[in-house]
Structure 1
């Protein structure tokens, strides 16, 4: 299988790490020449695409791709991949599977109630509204094409190098409390297995919630990470008093519990890490958090 990825970021690279031996070739896009060079050394062909200008060799890769994964977010209210490559994608002769990585943020606020793929989206932010628009455009493209388009709505992403253990270890963790607030999360290894299961059994215009089994308060995740590391958790601080970036605060506008039944019934997936406790324990066994980690932009993986 020839895989092409728009947006060789954290989640996409974790997927590649788990399934690269099942691909004949892997290529994708990055925003910088420096990152392209690093990925080339690892066997991934990387081409520059900054949302406007792009390497014309991307078009050749699309003509040979069997599967296409999109993890580039909308920009300025539009999808840059569709803006520049919709015709090339629609006419790609070998393409049979397209996966678009979206977010459970499209459901908006449900006041803690359960939502599933049949729940009408109710996005509360411009960012989430742009995601819904992009989803609809990708599904419309799939309606007219020979390949199947799938939408994957991801919960808060964590995994190697990005998790609460590292935040506790390097002192950046905050135990922010907003009464009644819960979030779902998803380990990158489970994202990878969901995507691969979909590639093996593509379903036209399918939408999947990719989330764990147990939504929970964010402060509990930090407390459990501290317990695993054998240290005191940071003190609780109320949401109103916490100093957070606008991006981080925006996550708390949505309060919902996300059902993941469809990935189990339709794709046959059994989550390896059904709760944050399973995921953090496994990461701790690999040594995550035993030394101070590297900070990443707040809000990049959700609470």
Structure 2
């Protein structure tokens, strides 16, 4: 249809209830069973050393490609000119979907984001507040886990003593067939308890890195410098991208510029701050961003453990 004011054609999706869907199996090139099997295998293939599907590893053309989101409609920001990025939905689907027609220069956005990554996302005061909140939650979870482990250890000790008494009884002259079934039951229970204990982590001291913020800033500064070196540029680009969850661009109140909300990927930030190798930084971030993982959830990072849903949200900084 055409907009009355501008005369431009605007595409609008019909309501789903009005769709007409017809199966045409005769046009299949291969049968459905083979197609589904191929799709399943494709989905199982992962990049070596990462948890990312092979089909999702196309190298981005620009440093921040694919990480930008429109604050009005949630759609992506794409290249709209030689040096500018803008909301794709506003330009391709019209004002009925999004009215954000502002754009931002690639060089300006990259400079602003890199500065924020280096100087704002690991502020020492924020790191200290995070550590305190994390320690409180970690201690609560550890207390619950320790209580369960203590019960298993007590039962295992009792089962071991009972089994030893039966052995002593046999040595003392009690017929073995009278205690055979009981010994088998105790032995099976002992194995079960040992398996459960091996899967239950023992108490371990919580160790924090007092220089986390400094380590983070130094390593980010090195990565930013490496972005200008041909030899290590691609790896540095991947690691920098792994530190970012998304960049939300929203029109400012004056309607003339865009505000930038930078959301850091907490798993990648902590892995970098605690001195992990760059490959582990990327892996930690990939796990956090994997489909089905709650936003803000972080998997195990060495001695630092965060649990999805405990209140640790993505690190966000408005630029």
**Class of the TM-score when normalised by the shorter of the 2 chains:** under 0.3
Asked which structure has the greater RCO (Cα within 8 Å, sep 6+), the reply is 1
**TM-score, normalised relative to structure 1:** 0.22
| Greater helix share, structure number | 2
**TM-score, normalised relative to structure 2:** 0.22
| Greater strand share, structure number | 1
